[in-house]
Amino acid sequence: MIHWTGVLSAGAGALLIAGCASFNCCKMNSPTSKPFGTVDGQAVTLYTLRNAKGMEAQICNYGGIVTSLKVPGKNGNFDDVVLGYENLEGYLKSTPYFGCIVGRYGNRIANAKFTLNGKEHTLARNNDQNSLHGGVKGFDKVVWKVVKATDNSLELQYTSKDGEEGFPGNLNVTATYTVTDDNSLRIDYTATTDADTHCNLTHHSYFNFAGKGDILNHSVTINADKFTPVDATLIPTGELRPVKGTPLDFTTPHTIGERIGDSDEQLKLGKGYDHNWVLNKNTPGTLTLAATVTEPSNGHVMEVWTTEPGVQFYTGNFLDGTITGKGGWTYQARNGFCFEPQHFPDSPNHVDFPSTLLLPEQTFRSTTIYKFSALS
């Protein structure tokens, strides 16, 4: 059994936001904001965070969605590198988790159930027989409270009630976004509960550094010697399989398109890459470089750092041309990719996986950093 409680670790340099506890007392140092619509009578606001170098992130308090992320490329240009919509209606109508906070449990839980303290908990089924990304109404589909907003950071809070989507315990969650001076988007999560529960939070932006079109020429490196193979419903089998000799070996750089069409069984099951990589970590819970992505045409480079033990790499396999997003772009398969740092899928049903169990006397802490630079 792996007694890995990285879910409870603050990680190196975990961000603690101090100071005023409300948005009103930060008005002198607040970001640009504008109304973004309403959901069930609750106002939704779009915030623009900036650093001194010109990087800009637009984030709304519905689902904590990053609607736009402008980062440096070649020749000093700043490009929006995330898929999404230009208005709230798009996210309400149809969205494959564009840019959102995912919870209470990111990724899949087999047969939408788990047993905790001898009691079976039945979850909402929203992915065939499985539960995916927190259920029918996960953290991506609720309005979060704005606790604090400054010119480069936004702190959001949400309380998930006991029994919501089948999960036990009242879970109080905080997510803080920060645009840092080294051109990073940093996301810090904390959570506490009043009853034993499972918690696995992540971020779900779809990236495309080429402007439009596919992401097949993006070069990827993943710091992982193993991955968790899946069955036909994309649930882990429980095995930690070496990537060596498979198309899932990104220990050295490969373009996404180089092997995505191979006859490998795992690629067929996922319709491409849609798997969890087991990150190489010396110390659980510390910040680790999980992945690096480079795109030559626009010169974008992204590093993904995380305190989590795994990362889900997904290549937009289920985008099918039915969604038209920003700039009139109709999103097709392979038009975006996700790197979702998290604990492993279905961990509540695998005692040998790093634990996602959160107890009332503990605090969940997790940090993810997407750091951007440009090729010269």
Q: How far apart are CA 48 and CA 243, in angstroms?
A: 40
Neighbours of 120 (CB within 10 A): 8
Report residue 171 as tokens. Answer: 């879970």
Report residue 349 as tokens. Answer: 């049903």
C-beta separation of 126 from 168 below 8 A: no
3-state secondary structure of 196: coil
**Residues annotated as catalytic (active site), given as ranges:** 204, 340
Neighbours of 168 (CB within 10 A): 18
Written in H, E and C, the secondary structure of 25-88 is HHHHHCCEEEEEEEECCEEEEEEEEECCCCCEEEEECECCCEEEEEEECHHHCEEECECCCCCH
Tell me which residue has tokens 């920060």. Answer: 178
Tell me which residue has tokens 């030559």. Answer: 296
Q: How far apart are CA 108 and CA 339, in angstroms?
A: 16
Q: How far apart are CA 136 and CA 126, in angstroms?
A: 6
Q: How far apart are CA 215 and CA 203, in angstroms?
A: 19
C-beta separation of 301 from 293 below 8 A: yes
3-state secondary structure of 304: strand
Report, in this order, helix, strand and coil percent for the chain, each rounded to 5.
10, 40, 45
Tell me which residue has tokens 């503990």. Answer: 362
